[in-house]
Amino acid sequence: MKLLLIEDNPQLAHWLSSLLREQDFVVDHVADGDAADRLLMQTRYDVVLLDLNLPQLSGKAVLRRLRERGDAVPVIILTATASLDQKVLCLEIGADDYLVKPFEIRELVARIKVLVRRQTPGKANDMACGDLQYDLRTRQFTLAHEELALPPRERTLLETLMLKAGSTVSKQALIDAMFGLDDEPSADAVDIYIHRLRRKLETSQATIITLRGVGYLLRTRQEH
């Protein structure tokens, strides 16, 4: 899963980014509202973590512009202000959640997972494609009821395909999901990771289909 952290406090941003990456999230960070607004027009994220007091453009202005463009990406407000009026205002202009600093990282991760679940068909914690199963609470895969251990990027790729199971995901969307702003993926990075995953799914009822010029599709073998 890919997160955008919009936070102007460098120490807090570094701490949060590090902890979230330890949880195997892909994290991009920007420190001002203008940069955040530009990035949100170019890149898709699973969840946005938004501070309110930002230079250049306020967090509320970033949120308003995001919703005016019709972008439904889930947004969690991270703020030191516990004002009920401000919380109500943020929710009214399109925030999905509101978390007051300081907070426990476990609570933030749990709230991120809740927002991702709301975006999935059926809004369930457990998803399946044949005998390949995914638990959103633990972000773990099992294959025929046995744990399927995957390196972080392979898991991110398979997670992205699973959350969109039955729909085609473009190569660019997979690159965006797997790599952050500071990474420099090679042109064939997705193909390499797809090849590795296919080998691990050889005995599975689930398979990854390549639709040339369109993207990739996770589905059960008997469907084709």
State the Cα–Cα distance between residues 35 and 20, nearest whole angstrom.
21
Between the alpha carbon of residue 216 and those of residues 161, 166, 172, 179, 194, the distances in Å are: 8, 10, 11, 17, 9
Between the alpha carbon of residue 51 and those of residues 1, 63, 217, the distances in Å are: 20, 10, 35
User: Does residue 132 contact residue 141 with C-beta atoms inside 8 Å?
Assistant: yes
Q: Identify the pLDDT of residue 121.
A: 63
Query: Could you list the pLDDT tens digit for every one of the 224 residues in the chain?
Result: 899 999 999 999 999 999 999 988 999 999 999 999 999 999 889 999 999 999 989 999 999 999 999 999 999 999 988 889 999 999 999 999 999 998 999 999 999 989 988 877 666 788 899 999 999 888 899 999 999 999 989 999 999 999 887 789 999 989 989 998 888 887 789 999 999 999 999 999 999 999 988 999 999 987 54
CA dihedral 10, 179, 138, 197 (to 10 degrees): -160
Q: How many CB atoms lie within 10 A of CB 98?
A: 19
DSSP 88-138: HHHHHTT-SEEEESS--HHHHHHHHHHHHHHTSGGG-SEEEETTEEEETTT
Q: Identify the pLDDT of residue 199.
A: 94
State the Cα–Cα distance between residues 87 and 124, nearest whole angstrom.
27
Amino acid, single-letter form, for residue 141: F
> E strands along 44-96, which residues?
47-51, 75-79
Domains and CATH numbers, the chain: 2-118 (3.40.50.2300), 122-223 (1.10.10.10)
User: Does residue 43 contact residue 176 with C-beta atoms inside 8 Å?
Assistant: yes
User: Does residue 124 contact residue 118 with C-beta atoms inside 8 Å?
Assistant: no
